Amino acid sequence: MSGTEELLVEADRLAAWLDSADPPALLDVRWRLAGPPGRADYAAGHVPGAVFVDLDTELCGPPGPAGRHPLPDPAALQAALRAAGVRAGHPVVVYDGGDGMAAARAWWTLRWAGHRQVRLLHGGFPDWVAAGLPVSTEAPSPATGDVTVRPGELPVLDTASAAALAAAGDGVLLDVRAAPRYRGETEPIDPVAGHVPGAVNLPAGEYVGPDGRFPAADALRERFAAAGVAEGAPVGAYCGSGVTAAQAVLALHLAGRPDAALYVGSWSNWVADPSRPVATGG
């Protein structure tokens, strides 16, 4: 999967698809880093037929040394996806509140779990509403799905492989946090400021808009190339806890790099061990 037509779906196309004889499973994953949980937003109104899935408790494992949003337990993830009606070999569409981060992490998690037919509603719920499409407050009761979680279908970096990639001369580890966090000038969430030595800063705002919409593939390739992403060379991404970086991996897929790896634990995992080196400055 490398084209936008395979990874993204626009609101009008999704509406037609949902009205077809074989609609996709639809997951509402609205979420805010600082809370409150997105379930209240879902209850206030959602795309008809959507099932709410919680990013923090259902798509990720509990926070700890592995990071604030570590990989989920495969059995727990499988149970959550089946409860949401996800079926083996059947398409899934995910959406969030518009910035695209939670939806990208949901997309990445399903792809990592071996479910290949996953698309993201481009622009999220705000684009659906802006298109004048219907909104529901009814929570559906989908038939239990039969998806089987097979972890490892997308590449994952751990601390050792992230450090090696950052230090490698032929690859690049992208730090997609805001520049002041990368430089170590501020750190609003984690206990240590700075970045993985050798990582290159490419803030998320340089490859995706605040509305969660991506530029064309050619523009994405240019932006990643300017950050040092070379054709055929290894590339990975990290952020604070692996959510924004999942959006970077989606952008890299759109740019034709389906081999891009996610450092799931990201900075929150890196600084959990005080012996790991920390770099500051530009």
- Residues annotated as catalytic are 239
What burial letters (b/e) apply to 42-80, b meaning 16+ CB within 10 Å?
beeebbbbbbbbbbbebbbbeeeebbbbbbbebeebbeb
DSSP codes joined into one string, 25-74: EEEE----TTS--THHHHHH-B-TT-EE--IIIIISPPPBTTBSS-PPPH
Sheet holding 118-121, edge to edge: 8-9, 118-121, 92-95, 25-28, 51-52
At a CB cut-off of 8 Å and minimum separation 6, what does 112 contact? 71, 151, 152, 153, 154, 156
C-beta contacts of 182-189 below 8 A and 24+ residues apart:
183/280, 183/281, 183/282, 184/278, 184/279, 184/280, 184/281, 189/33, 189/68, 189/240, 189/268
CB 74 within 8 A of CB 183: no
DSSP codes joined into one string, 73-127: PHHHHHHHHHHTT--TT--EEEE-SSSSHHHHHHHHHHHHTT---EEEETTHHHH
Other Cβ atoms closer than 10 A to 273: 9
Location of structure tokens 């530029």? 215
